[in-house]
Amino acid sequence: MRLLILGTGGMANQHAANFKAIEGVSVVGGVDIVPERLAAFCTEHGIANHFTTLEDALAWGEFDAVANVTPDRIHHPTTLQAIAAGKHVFCEKPLATDAVKAMEMTEAIERSGKVGMVNFTYRNSPALQKGRQMVLAGEIGEVRHVEASHLQSWLVGRHWGDWKSESKWLWRLSKKHGSNGALGDIGIHIVDFASYGSGLDIAHVFARLKTFDKAPGHRIGEYDLDANDSFTMNVDFANGAIGTIQATRTAAGQMDQLRLRVYGETGSIEMIYDTGKSTLRACLGEDVHTATWQDIPFDPVETNYQRFVQAVRAGRTQEPSFRRAANIQKVLDKALASDLRHADEALG
């Protein structure tokens, strides 16, 4: 499989490294509007062909698939171009900045017969995959209550760099630069984590979003710091269960932690991804009567990168698909509407 990487910012390094590690995959081209960044990226990863526009890359055309690692608002137009050119697409999350655009992309890829998948990176957690299997197997009975959180701290700590001076962080705080804030950046991950891990679809959302004062005049250089930094959601699931989902970039002491607890009628399961480490615990059977939790073993799982390559070779999309990402985007759109209206929003 010959792969083109579109967008050569920080996350593109993960794409290049992971795809190059898969036997039979060649990263044959890179695209970026910033020539210096493009040249440095292609040199680092040994990529021979450089393009400053997607149009030039498509005119060349010597590749089978595109890894779209552009900023969020660029996903929609560039992915549609790649689909129209007959390419498979592996898109960074979110698929688009709203559900209407995401569904347009979904319908386009499904009509084309090409593979379209989205990089929900935390699906790579073996604890999540094993925990979901246990829930779906009925090991905790019917799900009744769900707690989920995604906690980061890069707005209060410098472990990933200084957000006040680095564009790769500042754009995530600015609506005009295409950001939907914590909701769009990490909210999409924890909503997917909670829904996937519990095996349930979200039916109603009541959300609160918060943007904190972070600089004089809420601005640094060209960046208006107006995107949300934290959110909470109360949700109803389709089976009648209820739950809470929250995320923030201001959780000092938490570098990158996703935690999901699923409580059922006969037991509970906890799935944690914490900065590269997965943990799975459960309270089952007789342990319910003593509130005792046991560690649950799990096996390694394939990554999204590996699943995408398998899907292209087989000609059949695997999860997480464009349609899955579009449905998660609907939840985020409803959360934004709920915050504006101070009202519950139903998923259609």
Q: What is the pLDDT of residue 111?
A: 98
Q: What is the pLDDT of residue 37?
A: 95
Question: What pTM does this model have?
Answer: 0.93
Q: What is the mean pLDDT of residues 195-212?
A: 98
Q: What is the pLDDT of residues 11-32, one digit of tens each?
A: 999 999 999 999 999 999 999 9
Q: What is the pLDDT of residue 278?
A: 97
Domains within the chain, CATH numbers bracketed: 2-121 (3.40.50.720), 126-300 (3.30.360.10)
Residues 6+ apart with CB under 8 A from 332: 94, 99, 180, 183, 184, 187, 188, 191
Q: What is the pLDDT of residue 303?
A: 96
Q: What is the pLDDT of residue 54?
A: 98
pLDDT band at 179 (very low <50, low <70, confident <90, very high): confident
Residue 54 tokens read as: 């997607």
Axis crossing angle, helix 75-84 with helix 99-112, rounded to the nearest 10? 10
| Residue 250 in this model has a pLDDT that exceeds 80 | yes
Can you name the residues that pair with 116 across neighbouring β-strands? 89
Q: What is the mean pLDDT of residues 233-242?
A: 98
Q: What is the pLDDT of residue 266?
A: 98
Closest to 139 measured CA to CA, from 21, 247, 305, 269: 269
* Distance in angstroms (rounded) separating the CA atoms of residues 51 and 49: 7
Q: What is the pLDDT of residue 9?
A: 86
Residues 100 and 131: beta-carbon distance below 8 Å: no
Q: What percent of the chain has pLDDT over 90?
A: 96
Q: What is the pLDDT of residue 164?
A: 96
Q: What is the pLDDT of residues 253-294, one digit of tens each?
A: 999 999 999 999 999 999 999 999 999 999 999 999 999 999
pLDDT band at 72 (very low <50, low <70, confident <90, very high): confident
Residues 242 and 236: beta-carbon distance below 8 Å: yes
pLDDT band at 348 (very low <50, low <70, confident <90, very high): confident
Three-state DSSP string of the chain: CEEEEECCCHHHHHHHHHHHCCCCCEEEEEECCCHHHHHHHHHHHCCCEEECCHHHHHHHCCCCEEEECCCHHHHHHHHHHHHHCCCEEEEECCCCCCHHHHHHHHHHHHHHCCCEEEECHHHHCHHHHHHHHHHHCCCCCCEEEEEEEEEECCCCCCCCCCCCCCHHHHHHHCHHHCCCHHHHHHHHHHHHHHHHHHCCCEEEEEEEEECCCCCHHHEECCEECCCCCEEEEEEEECCCCEEEEEEECCCCCCCEEEEEEEEECCCEEEEEEECCEEEEEEECHHHHHCCCCEECCCCCCCCHHHHHHHHHHHCCCCCCEHHHHHHHHHHHHHHHHHHHHCCCEECC
| Residue 10 in this model has a pLDDT that exceeds 90 | no
Sign of CA dihedral 232, 234, 236, 240: positive
pLDDT band at 71 (very low <50, low <70, confident <90, very high): confident
Q: What is the pLDDT of residue 124?
A: 95
| Residue 119 in this model has a pLDDT that exceeds 90 | yes
* Distance in angstroms (rounded) separating the CA atoms of residues 281 and 276: 17
| Residue 80 in this model has a pLDDT that exceeds 90 | yes
Closest to 320 measured CA to CA, from 27, 86, 94: 94
Q: Scanning the structure block, which residue is given the tokens 């995530």?
A: 172
Q: What is the pLDDT of residues 288-333, one digit of tens each?
A: 999 999 999 999 999 999 999 999 999 999 999 999 999 999 999 9
Residue 79 tokens read as: 């992915």
Name the amino acid, one letter, at 190.
Answer: I
Q: What is the pLDDT of residues 123-147, one digit of tens each?
A: 999 999 999 999 999 999 999 999 9
Q: What is the pLDDT of residue 223?
A: 97
